[in-house]
Every structure is written in C-alpha cells, then in structure tokens.
C-alpha cells in the first residue's frame, strides 16, 4: 500500500520501499556493473558520498563529483564508461539547485541512468519524473514521514525494467522496511501536502529575518532572490521547502554559542520533521572532515543549517533572535 501511495504522489507508476534512505541509494547503484562510472552532484548528502567512496569504490565503481548547477561541468565529466547521473536537488547542506531539464537532455544523449535524490523537495514541490528522471529517491526518514519517528526510503520509477530490478534487489538483500514503519510512514505521508507549504512559508520568513540580521553574513535559501539558482528553483519547483543555511561572522565559537543558546530549535542532525532543528556542520555532521577540505567545499566554520519546522514562525524567529544576541 505504501509503495503504491508514494508512487502515486510522485506521479510515477512504481514504488519500492526500503529500510532506509541509504539502502534505497545503495539499491539504485546495484543497477551498475563493475567498471562503470557515475557522475554525482558535489554537495550530496554526506552519507551518500561516504557510501560511494568507502564502499562502492571497492567494487570497481568510479565516481566524479561535479558542481551540477552548471550543466557544462556534467558534460565535461562524461567518459565512455559513464552509466549514471546522480543528482541531488536542492543539496544538503548548501541548497544548490540543479536544472533537471538540462540534466535529462545529457542523460538521454549519453544513455545514462538518471537518478534524483529529491528528499529536500518532496513530491509536493518537485516531481522529477516529469523532467525525465528514471528514478526518484527519498529518505522517507525526513519530510515524508515527517515526525522523527522512523528510518526509511523509497524509489519511484516509470520504467518497468528498473522496477523489476529494484524489487529483486529489495527482496534479495533484505533491506525491507518493517510493516510497522510502513504504517507510520503512511500516517505521516497523509499530511505531507499540509505540512510542506507551512515548512516553506516559515522558512521564507526565517530566511528574510536572517538576511536582515547584522550578525549574519549570508543566508542561503532557494526562495531568496539572492540565491544563485533562485530562477531555476522558481521555474521547476512549486515551493522552496524548509531547509536553509546561514553564515555567522564569528566562526566556530559563534556557531557553538548559537547552538547552545536557542531553546525552541532542537540541536539535532536530522531534518524534515515538524520541529525546527538546528545543526552546526563544522562541529556536528562534518566534524570528521579535515578543516581544509570542509572549507574548500563551502562548509565554513560559521555555517549553520536549519530545518525549519511548522511551529509559529514568530516563535522560531524570536528563538533565533535570542540565540544571535548571545554571539
Ligand atoms: C537523510 C538523507 C539520506 C539518507 O537517508 P537515511 O534514511 O538517513 O538513510 C539521503 N539523502 C538525503 C538528501 C538525506 O537527507
């Protein structure tokens, strides 16, 4: 039931559910053979690049990470053995937005599997199958279940050959979700269309507040005209979702002060639930990445990621105001 439900809200024919978002990504990569090459967005979810680099590369799969916001970078990375294009949009945590029409053209021309991790956008705001994606993946741990209650994932496709392979992988490797988790996911998914517009409205209000705050150097939110891919986001998405990040002037100490001063925002590494969650990548999600590499990727010491919840927007703004006063 859940597979059919999630396929239908994504506008696709087939859905296959897994025990986590990561098990879903791993299963999609099992469409490939040893020697194949994958082009991947450079700011993908950290667990995905870790999986590609530390596990799949041992099985003779090869990966190139490119800034997919410029299609020329993707074209330049194509090799004879390239078999898959793996795009995340918007990305985690820098909210880069990739033009899916341009990616679909490249995938078609070079006969590549075209997979999209659409966890941040959800089917409410983006339906990548309409743009020619072969596979749309969600970590249902996040917005789709929406209440920090479980871990799960889904892949939706219109291609029967991919569907059959995904079903085969699902039962063969045993990365199946439990019936109870499926039931909980279904409960969450039934309010997705009500939650997402609220996440998006709140994030817009919070982003505008932060952009006007003197202690904030920069705010990145696809709904702000200052976002480098704002126009692409506006044309391919029906809303900008609830994720944003901002840059504090004072580096690690300022980040820590804000983390320790907020009261409503929960200090947490997950995202996409009804509660607002705040993360300091330099000391939390990316603490094990050497500072130089972190900085090169744009994950600066003062960067704060916010998963804006569905509380009263004024309460979220007041909480951040209080946290920023302590800096
Ligand atoms: C969380 C996340 C994943 C991994 O999902 P899990 O359900 O935690 O395994 C993959 N992609 C994105 C964009 C995510 O946010």
CA 309 to chain centre: 16
Q: Are residues 226 and 175 in the same domain?
A: no
Q: How confident is the model at residue 257 (pLDDT cuts 50, 70, 90)?
A: very high
Q: What is the pLDDT of residue 288?
A: 79
Query: In terms of Cα–Cα distance, which of 265, 252, 243, 245 is closest to 302?
Result: 252
- For 34-88, write each residue's pLDDT tens digit: 999 999 999 999 899 999 999 999 999 999 999 999 999 999 999 999 999 999 9
Ligand 1 centroid – CA 270 distance (Å):
9
**211 lies in the same domain as 183:** no
Q: What is the CATH number of the domain that holds 109?
A: 3.40.640.10
Q: Are 97 and 90 in contact (CB under 8 A)?
A: yes
* Same domain flag for 155 and 243: no
- Mutational test site, ligand 1, from 25, 42, 45, 49, max ligand atoms within 8 Å of CB: 45
> For 230-254, what is each residue's pLDDT tens digit?
999 999 999 999 999 999 999 999 9
Same domain flag for 151 and 225: no
Give the integer Cα–Cα distance in Å for 133 and 178: 28
Q: Which of 184, 127, 169, 178 is nearest to 23 (CA)?
A: 169
Q: Which helix (H) or strand (E) holds 304?
A: strand 303-307
Pick the last residue of a domain from 189, 210, 237: 189
- Say how far apart CA 230 and CA 59 lie, in whole Å: 38
Residues 107, 228: one domain? no
Token digits of residue 43: 């700011």
Test site for ligand 1: of 17, 25, 29, 92, most ligand atoms within 8 A of the Cβ: 92
Of all protein residues, whose CA lies closest to atom 2 belonging to ligand 1? Answer: 139
Tens of pLDDT, residue by residue over 115-145, are: 999 999 999 999 999 999 999 999 999 999 9
As a whole-number percent, the residues of the chain with pLDDT over 90 amount to 95
- pLDDT of 297 > 90? The answer is no
Q: Which domain holds residue 283?
A: 192-325
Q: What is the domain count for the chain?
A: 2
Q: Is pLDDT at 293 greater than 90 in this prediction?
A: no
What separation in Å is there between the alpha carbon of 212 and the centre of ligand 1? 31
| CATH number of the domain encompassing residue 223 | 3.90.1150.10
Q: Does 252 share its domain with 134?
A: no
Provide the token pair at 36: 């194949």
Instruction: Over range 157-169, report the average pLDDT.
Output: 98
What is the rounded average pLDDT for all residues in the chain?
97
Q: Is the peptide bond before 134 cis (omega within 30 degrees of 0)?
A: no
Measured from the Cα of 141, ligand 1's closest atom is 7
18, 28, 47, 48, best to mutate for ligand 1 pocket (most atoms within 8 Å of CB): 47
pLDDT at 286: 84
Atom in ligand 1 nearest the alpha carbon of residue 272: 15
The reply to whether 183 and 276 lie within a common domain is: no
Ligand 1-lining residues (CB < 6 angstroms): 20-22, 45, 47-48, 88, 92, 117, 119, 139, 141-142, 151, 153
Are 166 and 216 members of one domain?
no
Per-residue pLDDT, 66:
97
Residues 160 and 234 in one domain: no
Q: Which of residues 189, 219, 234 is at a domain's end?
A: 189
- Residue 314 CA to residue 60 CA, distance in Å, equals 51
Q: How many A from CA of 153 to the centre of ligand 1?
A: 8
pLDDT tens for 5-21 read 999 999 999 999 999 99
* 127 and 145 together in one domain: yes
Are residues 270 and 253 part of one domain? Answer: yes
Of 189, 209, 233, which residue sits at a domain end?
A: 189
């Amino acid at each position: 039931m859940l597979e059919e439900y999630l396929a239908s809200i994504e506008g696709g024919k087939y859905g296959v559910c897994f025990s986590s978002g990561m098990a879903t990504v791993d299963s999609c990569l099992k469409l490939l053979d040893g020697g194949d090459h994958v082009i991947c967005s450079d700011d993908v979810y950290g667990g995905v690049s870790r999986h590609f680099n530390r596990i799949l590369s041992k099985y003779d799969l090869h990966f190139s990470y490119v800034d997919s916001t410029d299609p020329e970078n993707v074209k330049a990375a194509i090799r004879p053995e390239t078999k898959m294009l793996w795009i995340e949009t918007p990305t985690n945590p820098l909210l880069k937005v990739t033009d899916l029409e341009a990616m679909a053209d490249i995938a078609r021309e070079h006969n590549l599997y075209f997979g999209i991790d659409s966890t941040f956008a959800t089917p409410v705001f983006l339906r990548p199958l309409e743009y020619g994606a072969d596979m749309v993946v969600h970590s249902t741990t996040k917005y789709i279940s929406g209440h920090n209650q479980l871990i799960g994932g889904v892949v939706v496709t219109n291609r029967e050959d991919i569907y059959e392979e995904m079903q085969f992988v699902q039962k063969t490797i045993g990365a199946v979700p439990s019936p109870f988790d499926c039931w909980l996911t279904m409960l969450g998914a039934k309010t997705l269309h009500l939650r997402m517009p609220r996440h998006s409205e709140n994030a817009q209000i919070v982003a505008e507040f932060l952009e006007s705050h003197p202690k904030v150097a920069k705010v990145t939110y696809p709904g702000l005209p200052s976002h480098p891919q704002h126009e692409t986001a506006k044309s391919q998405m029906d809303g900008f979702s609830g994720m944003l990040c901002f840059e504090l002037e004072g580096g690690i100490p300022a980040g820590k002060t804000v983390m320790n001063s907020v009261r409503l925002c929960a200090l947490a590494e997950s995202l996409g639930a009804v509660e607002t969650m705040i993360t300091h990548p330099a000391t939390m999600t990316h603490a094990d990445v050497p500072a130089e590499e972190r900085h090169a990727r744009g994950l600066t010491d003062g960067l704060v990621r916010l998963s804006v919840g569905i509380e009263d927007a004024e309460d979220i703004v007041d909480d951040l105001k209080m946290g920023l006063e302590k800096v």
